[in-house]
């Protein structure tokens, strides 16, 4: 179903219609300003609060503001609402409101951003209240019809019962009356011990459409009269477009127009994307690459290495005691330098967006991790006010942080603006997608640990040198110039806190920002910080002549939740029992995104360079578990991402350009290389942590520590392909 957005206002109604492709995703909201306050969906069904629409047949439509990109938030958020709503889960469906609708209703659906494993944990309270509010209104409507006190009525499975008389009715029958009621000012949420749906591994709501091919992704969008665009941006970040010879491609098959996109890119618009891409490849283009064309991986590495020098300025993120003095007077010290490369998101679906621009309206259809950010990009690029713009969110073919950015949305609008009235689908080629990412930041880390005469760790100095994502993407979030996100996993407190107590501690960041743009890459700074700290913890344990698990335990007495997940994973892997012949173990722990996680790996090594990862055990304490089946899938998926990065990832820079521009040079692990994954959930309650990202951080250090146990060799830089180490 295709339906263009219209936005009209008169003295009786403010009507926002929204459209996207695919059944169940079209929303139309009729918002009255007078008379009975009934807001209706596109099919005329009444809205019971902003989060719930109830149809006459008892179907419950739950609004989902966050994005679904495979992580399961769509189902998890629906579970949260349905739990409090007490509806029939078999009759639940979902739909996305648009950011334009949200702005028109004073952001009634809250934050649209989906990243940092915040999809559920940051919205759980208000979406549950949305479900509870709708339940109270439905019960009240039934009580009013029966002329009985609402306190005598209960709801379960979309059926309302008047307990004294046994009379019943359904949500669908009272929805119209409920929609006219004034929502209660406050509602009480269930005690977790009374949850019926939260904590259950219910089936995902999007599986059928995905497996049957009915699911619509951005790359699938088709609009009447649509043309296709292919784009090339200057291959050196910071460079500009100098010139191109349009005459060379003007007569090629299907070509409609060649346009500039800002001052850095050129695009070809054609009847099909293949014709656009073919013409673009034939288009003579001259770039002004600028001074950044002189930058290489080697020059970046040298610059970062300079930041490891104590004489260079650095921001202190975690400190107690006097680490430098304690190290200077220690009986023994251990020192190591580690490094971590750029990593590409490499989403299966390249960046794309479809834009339709006229002088009075601009609409975009795309996959995005932040509908509101995409909406802001449309406003900026189109030059139109908010009431004349909207973004229609469709399923993401991979996000991992990349689709939190809006460069591709802005480009699509800029192209469409040059062809008013014609829908333009912009699709990046795989090469464009790989060469113009927002990469996991490149870093190095120098660590020094010091012991007293009894092999007690008395000091730890952790000096990170590398990029700041916030400096590049959110400079307003810097704290007196410091990037607090750089200390994820080693922070003094908060949702990514350090899990060890060391008498003298100094953790600092020497900020170095090369021209290659960093971005929020799934797990982000936790990934390299966990490798650095957890591999170095093993080095310290070795220097002290202690078991790696016991060494950690001695430092974790003041960190019971960190210790609990470490103990859980150690027990599950069988740390205190002998491993099978030829199999070696490694262990790691970290805190990220409000959750405590640990991992342990079992590997074997052939010829010193071929690793077989037999098994990885993960333990996680996210506070509460909404859907344990999805948690298991998220942990397994995070290990696919983390192990792919460990073995195959890593982007290098030559002449200012990213060298890896397709999957032949930026590989991903195969099913045959995937280890058995076991997940131990130890939710302690009382807080809400993330799930999708934290466990990525423990995959690599667990395997690297196991590799040392097997070979006696320390690997201090990744990917392993650069060490000529592969999967067995």
Give the residue among 486, 585, 483, 560 at the shortest CA–CA distance from 528: 486
Fold of 7-202: Aldehyde Oxidoreductase; domain 4 (3.30.365)
CB 449 within 8 A of CB 536: yes
Residue 30: pLDDT band with limits 50, 70, 90: low
Q: What is the mean pLDDT of residues 68-83?
A: 97
Give the residue among 621, 687, 112 at the shortest CA–CA distance from 406: 112
Nearest 5°: phi and psi at 307? -70, -15
For 271-306, list the strands marked E by DSSP.
Answer: 285-288
Q: Are strands 389-393 and 361-366 parallel, antiparallel or unpaired?
A: parallel
Distance CA 184, CA 202 (A): 30
CB 18 within 8 A of CB 41: no
Q: What is the mean pLDDT of residues 707-711?
A: 98
pLDDT of residue 36: 52
* 296 Cβ contact list (under 8 Å, min separation 6): 653, 654, 655, 656
pLDDT of 294 > 60? The answer is yes
**Where is 638: in which H helix or E strand?**
helix 628-647
Q: pLDDT tens digits for 296-317?
A: 999 999 999 999 999 999 999 9
* 11 Cβ contact list (under 8 Å, min separation 6): 33
* 338 Cβ contact list (under 8 Å, min separation 6): 444, 445, 447, 528, 531, 532, 535, 536, 716, 717
Report the sign of the C-alpha dihedral through residues 227, 206, 193, 683, in that order. Answer: negative
Distance CA 470, CA 481 (A): 10
Distance CA 333, CA 449 (A): 5
* 543 Cβ contact list (under 8 Å, min separation 6): 332, 334, 449, 451
pLDDT of residue 29: 59
pLDDT over 70, % of the chain: 95
pLDDT of 5 > 60? The answer is no
Q: What is the mean pLDDT of residues 229-247?
A: 98
pLDDT of 173 > 60? The answer is yes
Q: What is the mean pLDDT of residues 94-104?
A: 96
Nearest 5°: phi and psi at 676? -70, 135
Q: pLDDT tens digits for 393-427?
A: 999 999 999 999 999 999 999 999 999 999 999 99
pLDDT of residue 33: 40
CATH 3.40.50.2300 fits 218-290+351-427, yes or no: no
Q: What is the DSSP string of 584-598?
A: EEEEEEEEETTEEEE
Q: pLDDT tens digits for 488-537?
A: 999 999 999 999 999 999 999 999 999 999 999 999 999 999 999 999 99
pLDDT of residue 205: 97
- 3-class DSSP state of 301: helix
pLDDT of 9 > 90? The answer is no
pLDDT of 18 > 70? The answer is no
Lowest mean pLDDT across 18-32, 171-185, 469-483, 549-563:
18-32
Q: Enumerate the CATH 3.30.365.10 domain ranges in the chain, comma separated.
A: 7-202, 218-290+351-427, 297-343+439-727
Please give the DSSP secondary-structure letter assigned to residue 558.
T
β-strand partners of 595: 592
CB atoms within 10 A of CB 196: 13
Look up the pTM and report it: 0.94
pLDDT of residue 328: 98
Q: Which runs of consecutive H residues, i.e. helices, occur in 508-559? A: 525-544, 548-554
At the second CATH level, the architecture of 297-343+439-727 is 2-Layer Sandwich (3.30)
* 607 Cβ contact list (under 8 Å, min separation 6): none
pLDDT of 26 > 70? The answer is no
Average pLDDT, the chain: 94
pLDDT of residue 509: 98
* 490 Cβ contact list (under 8 Å, min separation 6): 317, 318, 462, 496, 498, 507, 529, 533
CB 307 within 8 A of CB 465: yes
Distance CA 124, CA 372 (A): 19
CB 699 within 8 A of CB 673: no
Residue 23: pLDDT band with limits 50, 70, 90: very low
**Where is 326: in which H helix or E strand?**
helix 323-328
pLDDT of 134 > 60? The answer is yes
- 3-class DSSP state of 303: helix
356 half-sphere exposure, CB direction, 13 A CA radius: 23
Distance CA 467, CA 517 (A): 9
pLDDT of residue 42: 87
Determine the length of the chain: 728
Distance CA 672, CA 359 (A): 53
pLDDT of residue 392: 98
**Where is 707: in which H helix or E strand?**
helix 696-711
Q: pLDDT tens digits for 344-400?
A: 999 999 999 999 999 999 999 999 999 999 999 999 999 999 999 999 999 999 999
């Amino acid at each position: 179903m295709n339906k263009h957005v219209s936005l009209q206002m008169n003295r009786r109604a403010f009507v926002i219609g929204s459209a996207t492709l695919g059944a169940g995703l079209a929303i139309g909201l009729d918002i009255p300003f007078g008379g009975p306050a009934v807001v209706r969906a596109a099919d005329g069904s009444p809205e019971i609060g902003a989060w719930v629409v109830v149809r006459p047949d008892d179907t419950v439509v739950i609004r989902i503001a966050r994005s679904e990109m495979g992580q399961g938030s769509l189902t998890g958020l629906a579970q949260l609402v349905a739990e409090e709503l007490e509806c029939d889960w078999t009759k639940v469906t979902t739909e996305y409101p648009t950011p334009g609708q949200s702005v028109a209703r004073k952001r009634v659906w809250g934050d649209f951003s989906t990243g940092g494993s915040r999809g559920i944990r940051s919205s759980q309270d208000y979406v549950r209240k949305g479900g509870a509010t709708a339940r109270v209104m439905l019960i009240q409507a039934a009580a009013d019809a029966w002329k009985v006190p609402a306190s005598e009525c209960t709801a379960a499975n979309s059926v309302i019962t008047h307990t004294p008389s046994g009379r019943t009715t359904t949500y669908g029958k009272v929805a119209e009356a409920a929609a006219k009621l004034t929502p209660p000012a406050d509602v009480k949420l269930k005690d977790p011990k009374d949850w019926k749906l939260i904590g259950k591994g219910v089936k995902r709501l999007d599986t059928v459409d995905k497996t049957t091919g009915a699911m619509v992704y951005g790359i699938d969008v088709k609009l009447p009269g649509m043309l296709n665009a292919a784009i090339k941006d200057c291959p050196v970040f910071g460079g500009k477009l100098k010139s191109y010879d349009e005459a060379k491609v003007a007569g090629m098959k299907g070509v409609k127009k060649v346009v500039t996109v800002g001052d850095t890119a050129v695009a070809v618009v054609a009847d099909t994307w293949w014709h656009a891409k073919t013409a673009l490849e034939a288009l003579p283009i001259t770039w002004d690459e600028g001074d950044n064309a002189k930058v290489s991986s080697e020059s970046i590495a040298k610059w970062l290495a300079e930041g490891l020098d104590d004489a260079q300025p650095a921001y202190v993120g975690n400190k107690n005691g006097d680490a430098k003095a304690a190290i200077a007077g220690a009986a023994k010290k251990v020192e190591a330098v580690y490094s971590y490369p750029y990593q590409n998101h490499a989403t299966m679906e390249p960046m794309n967006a479809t834009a339709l621009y006229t002088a009075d309206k601009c609409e975009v259809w795309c996959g995005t991790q932040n509908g509101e950010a995409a909406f802001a990009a449309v406003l900026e690029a189109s030059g139109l006010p908010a009431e004349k713009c909207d973004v229609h969110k469709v399923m993401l073919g991979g996000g991992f942080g990349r689709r939190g950015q809006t460069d591709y949305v802005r480009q699509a609008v800029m192209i469409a603006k040059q062809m008013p009235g014609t829908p333009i689908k912009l699709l990046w080629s795989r090469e464009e997608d790989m060469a113009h990412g927002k990469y996991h930041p490149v870093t190095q880390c120098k660590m020094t640990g010091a012991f007293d005469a009894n092999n007690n760790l008395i000091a730890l100095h952790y000096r990170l040198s590398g990029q700041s994502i916030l400096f590049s993407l959110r400079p307003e979030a810097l704290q007196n110039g410091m990037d607090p996100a750089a200390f994820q996993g080693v922070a003094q407190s908060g949702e990514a806190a350090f899990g060890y107590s060391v008498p003298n501690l100094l953790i600092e960041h020497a900020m170095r920002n090369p021209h290659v743009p960093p971005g929020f890459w799934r797990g982000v700074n936790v990934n390299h910080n966990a490798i650095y700290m957890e591999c170095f913890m093993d080095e310290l344990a070795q220097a002290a002549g202690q078991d790696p698990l016991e060494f950690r335990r001695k430092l974790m007495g003041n960190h019971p939740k960190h210790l609990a997940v470490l103990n859980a994973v150690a027990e599950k892997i069988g740390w205190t029992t002998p491993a099978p012949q030829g199999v070696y173990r490694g262990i790691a722990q970290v805190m990220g995104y409000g959750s405590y996680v640990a991992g342990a790996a079992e590997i074997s090594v052939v010829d010193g360079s071929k690793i077989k990862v037999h098994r990885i055990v993960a333990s996680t304490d996210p506070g509460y578990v909404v859907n344990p089946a999805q948690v298991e899938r998220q942990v397994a998926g995070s290990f696919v991402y983390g192990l792919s990065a460990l073995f195959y990832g890593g982007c290098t820079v030559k002449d200012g350009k990213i060298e890896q521009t397709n999957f032949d040079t930026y590989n991903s692990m195969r099913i045959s290389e995937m280890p058995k994954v076991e997940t131990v959930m130890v939710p302690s309650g009382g807080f809400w942590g993330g799930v999708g990202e934290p466990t990525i951080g423990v995959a690599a250090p667990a395997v690297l520590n196991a590799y040392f146990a097997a070979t006696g060799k320390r690997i201090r830089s990744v990917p392993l392909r650069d060490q000529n180490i592969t999967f067995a």
